Amino acid sequence: MPDPTAPDSWSLATIAVSAGRPPHEPDQPLNVPITMASTYGATGALEYGRYGNPTWTAFEDALGALEGGRCLAFSSGLAAVATVLDLVGQGARVVAPRHAYNGTVMQLTDLEARGRATVQLVDVTDTHQLTAACEDAALVWLESPTNPALELADIEAVAGAAHEAGAYVVVDNTFATPLRQRPLEMGADLVVHSATKYLSGHADAMLGAVVTADDQIHEVLKGRRDLTGSVPGTLEAWLALRGLRTLHLRVDRAEANARALVDRLREHAAVDEVRYPGFGGIVAVVLSGGPDAADRLVRATSLWVHATSLGGVESTFERRRRWNSEPATIPDALVRLSVGVEDVEDLWRDLAHALDQQR
């Protein structure tokens, strides 16, 4: 009979709080210390600061347990993305969402411009088109929900088609977090996070992560990280781990706030469209007054902050088409909202007041 007190029986909320801790022994700290070291004594497992750090390991253990695999931390989400894309062979074909994180799409565009890969961008909501595109692909990159269109992909169906074609599947799980979606259980080979966002959750640490259940892929990625030096800062890893401890509380509160705001936004005359995937704290609205109204909105609030990042305890929003690299298929009046954990009535009063000025 399984031990009901064993870690493998814990809920994800308990894992977020408990994984990556020092052993329960007298005089052991409850939290892993910040190990500020670039060099270690010779002939051990670490040797040099580019190869490992106990503080990174604690974060990696915790996130790996949440996602159901082995984690590697990187200096940023884009460093994690670049390390995974670096595994694509010369001239290989990559399938990716037409709407995705700008940094990922720009890296793919750069690979194609240099003749390193061919890239096919697809509509992830069209499962037939997406699964058909897997043929002859080496890598299928997914976001679900996509950024900033908030579209959902059928990860299980795509993973099945990709594996039949001999392709690896990567899912950027930054928006959903492992609390709302565990892609490895759905057939993905790798999961990527910008841990800067929800995982750390306080807009004070830049960090990336890759998780896989494949030991061989893990070792290859570890070798690439060692070689390129795209390693996380020790303080950043510690901050991200501290933030991870409250991930379940923050995601639950942000999601509850988002649901309440979505219902009200759908009734507001200044809003032409509301996009919400049904979970999480990210919402997108398209204003009926066009891009000028969207620009006015992000300047008209006192509580909501106009900022490009997301996933923090504070509520932020941004008109995405202000970036030249944003696809033309994203409405120019779309504003992406990252709903925080403030009192929802305060959030709504501030937002409604700003929306009323756009009518």
Q: Which long-range contacts (CB under 8 A, 24 or more apart) does 258-265 make?
A: 258/282, 258/283, 258/337, 258/339, 260/344, 260/348, 261/337, 261/339, 261/344, 261/347, 261/348, 261/351, 264/348, 264/352, 265/351
Which is the catalytic residue, given 172, 198, 225, 276? 172
CA distance 257 to 55: 33
> Token digits for 316?
């932020």
Radius of gyration of the chain (CA): 21
Phi, then psi, of 244 in degrees rounded to 5: -60, -30
Return all residues near 234 (Cβ < 8 A) that are at least 6 apart: 34, 35, 36, 53, 55, 56
Would you say 230 and 75 are in contact if contact means Cβ atoms under 8 Å apart? yes
Tokens matching residue 190: 């790798």
Of 93, 116, 182, 197, the catalytic one is 197
Read off the tokens for 175: 């928006």
Q: Exactly one of 50, 242, 245, 264 is catalytic; which is it?
A: 50
Q: Which of 70, 93, 101, 295 is catalytic?
A: 101
* Catalytic status, residue 222: no
Rounded Cα gap, residues 82 and 63, in angstroms: 20
CB 93 within 8 A of CB 118: yes
Q: Distance of CA 268 to CAs 107, 285, 307, Å? A: 38, 11, 23
What is the rounded CA–CA span in Å between residue 326 and residue 298? 18
The DSSP code sequence of 323-344 is STTS-TTS-TTEEEEE--SS-H
Beta-carbon contacts of 293 under 8 Å, excluding residues fewer than 6 positions away, are 270, 287, 333, 358
Active site residue 197: yes
The C-alpha atoms of residue 297 and residue 142 are separated, in whole angstroms, by: 31
- Catalytic annotation present for 172: yes
Residues 6+ positions from 253 with CB-CB distance below 8 Å: 341
Q: Which residues are catalytic?
A: 50, 101, 172, 197
